Structure 1
Amino acid sequence: MAVRTVVRLLIVGLLLTLATIISGALVTVSASAAACSSWPLCLEIVSDGGNPLVWIAMSHRLIVAPALLVVLAGTWAVWRSTEIDAPPRWTALVAVFFFLSQALAGALLVWGVPAMVADVWHLSGALMAFGAQVLTLLLIVIPVPSANERLSGRAAQTQRRLRGLAAWAAAAAGVAALAIGARSVAPAVEMAVGLPANSVGALSFAALLSGLMAVEIRRRLPVAAQSSVVAMALPRYSPLLPILALIALAGLWLPGGHLLSLSAASLLWAGALAAAVIIHRTPLHFMTAIAPSRTASKWRTVIADYISLTKPKVISLLLVTTLTTMFITEAGLPSWWLVLWTMIGGYLAAGGAGAINCAFDSDIDVNMGRTSRRPVPSGRISARAAFIFGVILSVLSIVVLWVFTTPLAAFFAFLGIIYYAYFYTSLLKRSTWQNIIIGGGAGAIPPLVGWTAVTGSLSLMAVVLFAIIFYWTPPHFWALALVKQKDYARAGVPMLPVVAGEGETRWQILVYSAIMVAVSLLPVAIGAMSWIYLAGALLFGLRFMRDAWAVWKVGDQAAIWGLYKYSLLYLALVFAVMVADRLILG
């Protein structure tokens, strides 16, 4: 059978499967499944033909029957064709499996199996069959590049990065479609505000990733430079993906918008899969050869500058302590949706505080080599704009944490923002050498956010986590201050090396390192952790003390930098071994 005929058959099956999904969702939303007590036919069409629910249920079955036949015929055609290789053959079989399983789930639903089980699988199976059909069609239409077409060097690296982004976007779109499909039969996920948190989170993530992918495609693949019809389609149609995600998200807010959301999410999934396969299989030789336009470059610079205001490198360590804390509470393992919203709220809170700090510290940053290239002191972003941006992120963080986690987590996030952006930045940093000692409390608040997001309350273990980071901050930051003390002196910031000298600073680093290691053993003393954590904390702590001793005794740049770099790893290791202790021994 000719490939063109196979492709046409697959397209018809794909459209019928999409119609199956939409009509099945209509059956679920209208609660018309109970109108038919028989399967596969609906005998009530004779006895109760005036009931519109009967016609809705029967119409769905009339769509499923030809869709199944066409899907089976398409799979048979794919296997019969000698011009089609192995991958699309197997994805075609996967499509048949899911289509048959969703049909069986529909039958079980009629026969009295609990709706929560059968109806969720009924919709999910249809969506999985739809995705497998899309992949089958794409793998046939878009051939594998030959060896002489494959890229190398910088172009290959760029395409690999774009492939990864496209794969994540496709996965996020699939999760979003499945979440919306399950929404109508899983009311337990509805939040108090009336929105399904899983659907909102999945669609928001899909919108973000598909938007980033569309921007990257538009930047890397100018339409005028395309050498194939497939490649030309990417920059032209990729902006539709985030639009579809936003339409699906809007449908969640509209009365009766479930069908709109599901339809848009299904198309988003198909489009994201198409983009992923095209990027994976099409050698895009011109990806790095075409210089981006001046306007695009300007916008990329502005976006990068605003992201840098949030201090992503600093936030990464704060989020690690927040995330790991969520897995060691007495409440057990948190749901992944709670983790997602806590991470989003935590990033917004820390990023907002960081942006406000950049706005307030612009007069200091301009005099320091390490910070003079930041957006505000370099003049690329005004201090007012940075402050407004920080306030917006801060308010969003409180809203996200209050709505999707707990009010107490939102309170601690707010406390952390005020502590860092105002108390430390405006008061402590400029007035006393104890700025890092007292101000260390700001960086110690993220574990409290993670703990209260899961439990809704504080405990002694949460306070111990706070104390570990509180005493970790001075040796960590003073090591950096020793290296950058000339910058701090020029900027007029009374850091300990500037006020008391290098010798006193090295001694204080040793003292606070010893206190920190002692405090890190408290989780065992209070019975919250076992021998696994004890072994890890001792091992990591002894290494920390060795580096602190080298700073005190030797005090050269190599020893100081060694302590500073290890201190970043130390905190992540200590919190990670807590999670290991809790997961292994419960």
Structure 2
Amino acid sequence: MAARHLARILLIGLLLTLATIISGALVTISASATACPSWPLCLDALNGEANPLVWISLGHRFIVALALLAVISSAWMVWRAPETKGAPRWTALGAVALFLLQALAGALLVWGMPAMVADVWHLTGALLAFGAQTLTFLLVVVPAQPATERLAGRAAQTQRRLRGLASWGAAAAGVAALAIGARSVAPEIEMAVALPANSVGALGFAAALTGWMAVEARRRLQPAAQTSAAALALPRYSPLLPALALVALAGLFLPAGGHLLSLTAAALLWAGALAAIVVLQRAPLTFTTTTDVARPTPKWREVVADYISLTKPKVISLLLVTTLTTMFITEAGLPSWWLVLWTMIGGYLAAGGAGAINCAFDSDIDVNMGRTSRRPVPSGRISARAAFIFGAILSVLSLIVLWVFATPLAAFFAFLGIIYYAYFYTSVLKRSTWQNIIIGGGAGAIPPLVGWTAVTGSVSLMAVVLFAIIFYWTPPHFWALALVKQKDYARAGVPMLPVVAGEAETRWQILVYSAIMLAVSLLPVAIGAMSWIYLAGALLFGLRFMRDAWAVWKVGDQAAIWGLYKYSLLYLALLFAVMVADRLILG
């Protein structure tokens, strides 16, 4: 109980220090430090006219005071606890010293020291204190494995390689966070430093390293029989690290709020990489060391075909249909063919990159399913690392293409779709909850937003309705496939709805979501974006969908289920095509 209480105090201190970093960035962006000319309080500034900047500055100082109290309290508890000897005590003490250092820098900033020095020093101290607290927390909650159980041979080499990737990723994340902070204080500082300190380069470096570590951890790392929750969490949640790096990178290209997003993501990446280092060093783990069986070198055409198959062309075709048709129904009029071409290229690269990353992360699942076991990664024709690198390259290229030849907002939504599908759905939802398809349906609903913003550069109500139509179409479409392949999902340990709740509940849910989808598909008429041509088509196609969903619910045989699945693919293409017809005929 005492150890659990200590862990909670340490976690509270961590969260408060993160809040200190975020609120400090808000103070910098709003230039509210000058609104409080005294330190540590400036209550006299409240006597005059109400100034929101004063409250921003005072709120930051209040959070700092709470965080300092938590840091000192946790350090005192660590030193008093008999089981926390050695490293945890010194990292806890270091956290106190570093936090006091950043507080002093904040005072110097108020007292007139140039912002280019004091504010960067302020952020540096906070990030280092955040890192020291992270190390203390992990050193307390993850016990060190006995010397007799230390790894040796190739397993030890794998452990060192993963730890090295995490270490360099942590260094890159720390540099990126400092560069982001420097950019907010004086942009010329960040632009003047060498490339490794540049925020964009550092975040890209961190994304590549932590992504490589995530792939290797998923393939090579296996928890031992007697292991900790942290060891179990590492292979499952390590893909979140490159996702954080990409979120931080995207925030650099957004308006003022993007700075807060980038700094928060970079700070979390810094702490997450440090956590991975500790877990890889202390937790009881085993590593697979089997070598691949020698096989003939495949012909280049087969290699090209395998890499193309990683992008899941059949899935992409439907996504591109919704992107393309959306571009012809906006209020901006008909787009140029060059814009259509580049948007299609960018959309294919984004969806293909996300699909390839999905194949890299899902190889342990795909090998146990008849439908996917012949894919290039589970069959051994392409390594998971190569698939991930291929997907990452396609993803980056997609963002460049859409940013340069379409609009930044289209690039942002493409990036959101990549993260949503390749990381959030693949690594978290798919493996942990039967609601994976419900929540994860948002990933497949993003292409219309890409097409809409590529033409208009903004988001309107109709674009949101298009998102909602695909969002509610996804569950009945995919659950029909899950009913047919439920034995595969059960064997692979994926908690799809038929596996968790049974066939009867799944057939009922298909009917319910089909009805919701039909209702949502009529919204374009209700908001005045479409007319009677679309209304007639939506009712005709939707009622046919409901007929098939009713057959699945009442009969539930394989013929009815396959009928719904195949028609659902056609339905979405027909629905978006009739939108184009409505807009072109009636304007």
- TM-score for both structures, normalised by structure 1: 0.50
Highest Rg: 1 or 2? 1
